[in-house]
């Protein structure tokens, strides 16, 4: 028996028949003929919006996954850095520090494990949501190929609702500061004269900093609530970026080593590649920590180890020669850094010739 469905009620977002108009929809005013609504559903703006939203949600989930995985790597580096500092300090004191060292290392591992559990919990929920989006993509593809127009419309509205829930999930991650980077650092007590009276020289400090992750969202979500019969092209400003960074700037972590300590480098920095050379600046204060012009850089480029980029400076550097190894967020970044620096140097040489 066929369903006597004639109209779409935009207030209740459902189909209704002639009997419904006299019942629960008698006060509703915003209706669309169902034939107009479903006649071109598969090529409508709503279908395009849903597909775009799916790609958008998937991209955002992948960005979050990459961002959290990067924080896991940096946590390990911070731990290694602190362990190195602990060992250096350990050689300056007597046997009284054996017990304090064990206590501190245990505290460090406990804190790292606690923070890793928090991040892994976020990653698990993101991976689950990503699988759900993948299933929706498959369902939408099958619907477009085999379902009738009415079935396609009803299924697309259900998918639209689930997409909005996914977007709310992503927004909740941002609102709860779950994307804030966790930084563990090492602080030394200045009172080191009365060693026997001091029970603790250091402490492990957990800090968070604003993440450089950027998520994309549609500016206009209202188009998801109605079906536009005529398909329109989307303008370039249909999407906005919540946060962006210059292509020539990268978030890197300095690998602990003697040259890095000599240059006063420890932890995360923003590496900017400009016509002035390589600039390492404080992420929060945005103050340059080291500036190496191209004329004092002997060599630079990707190391044999994945995600590592090294810069070697000569004797003309104010702090002397040395090599600094930077751990990048992805395996592609060392290659990108090399290309940007080489292109800048080529342009500079070209200008000198002219």
- Structural contact between residues 139 and 53, judged by C-beta atoms closer than 8 angstroms: no
C-alpha count within 13 angstroms, C-beta hemisphere, residue 170: 27
| Residue 224 Cα distances to 47, 57, 83, 314, angstroms | 9, 15, 53, 59
**Low-confidence residues of the chain: pLDDT under 70:** 1-5, 18, 21-22, 26, 33, 36-37, 40, 89-97, 189-202, 209-247, 351-354
Give, in words, the CATH class of 249-353: mainly beta
- Extract long-range pairs of 193-198: CB within 8 Å, 24+ residues apart: 195/93, 195/94, 195/96, 196/96
pTM value? 0.33
Four-residue CA torsion sign, 218, 54, 223, 24? negative
The C-alpha atoms of residue 136 and residue 140 are separated, in whole angstroms, by 6
Which candidate, 302, 313, 306, places its Cα nearest to that of 279? 313
Token duo for residue 313: 């400076």
Interior/surface letters 86-103, b for 16+ CB within 10 angstroms, e for the rest: beebeeeeeeebeebbee
Beta-bridge partner residues of 324:
311
Task: List the chain domain ranges.
Answer: 7-36, 41-241, 249-353
Helix, strand, coil percentages for the chain (3-state, nearest 5): 50, 20, 30
pLDDT score at 352: 64
Reported as a single tens digit per residue, the pLDDT across 199-210 is 666 678 887 766
Report the 10 Å Cβ neighbour count for 189: 10
Cα Rg of the chain (Å, integer): 28
DSSP helix/strand/coil, 211? coil
Closest CA to 310 of 262, 351, 263, 252: 252
């Amino acid at each position: 028996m066929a369903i006597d469905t004639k109209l779409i009620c935009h207030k209740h977002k459902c189909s209704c028949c002639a009997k419904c108009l006299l019942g629960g929809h008698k006060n509703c005013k915003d209706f669309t003929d169902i034939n107009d609504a479903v006649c071109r559903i598969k090529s409508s703006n709503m279908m395009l919006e849903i597909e775009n939203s799916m790609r958008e949600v998937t991209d955002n989930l992948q960005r979050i996954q990459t961002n959290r995985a990067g924080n896991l790597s940096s946590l390990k580096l911070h731990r290694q850095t602190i362990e190195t500092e602990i060992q250096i300090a350990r050689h300056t004191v007597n046997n009284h520090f054996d017990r304090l060292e064990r206590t501190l290392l245990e505290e460090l591992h406990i804190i790292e494990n606690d923070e890793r559990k928090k991040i892994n919990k976020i990653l698990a929920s993101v991976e689950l949501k990503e699988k759900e989006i993948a299933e929706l993509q498959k369902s939408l593809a099958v619907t477009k190929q085999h379902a009738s127009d009415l079935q396609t419309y009803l299924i697309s509205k259900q998918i639209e609702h689930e997409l909005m829930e996914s977007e709310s999930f992503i927004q909740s991650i941002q609102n709860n500061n779950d994307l804030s980077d966790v930084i563990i650092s090492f602080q030394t007590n200045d009172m080191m004269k009365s060693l026997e009276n001091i029970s603790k020289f250091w402490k492990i400090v957990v800090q968070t900093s604003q993440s450089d992750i950027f998520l994309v969202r549609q500016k206009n979500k209202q188009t998801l609530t109605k079906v536009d019969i005529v398909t329109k092209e989307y303008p370039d400003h249909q999407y906005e970026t919540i946060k962006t960074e210059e292509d020539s700037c990268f978030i890197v972590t300095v690998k602990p080593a003697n040259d890095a300590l000599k240059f006063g480098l420890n932890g995360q920095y923003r590496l900017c590649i400009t016509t002035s050379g390589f600039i390492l600046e404080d992420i929060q204060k945005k103050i340059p920590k080291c500036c190496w012009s191209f004329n004092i850089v002997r060599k630079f480029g990707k190391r044999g180890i994945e995600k590592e980029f090294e810069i070697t400076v000569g004797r003309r550097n104010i702090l002397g020669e040395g090599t600094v190894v930077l751990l990048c967020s992805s395996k592609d970044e060392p290659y990108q850094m090399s290309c940007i620096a080489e292109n800048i140097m080529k342009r500079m040489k070209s200008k000198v010739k002219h």
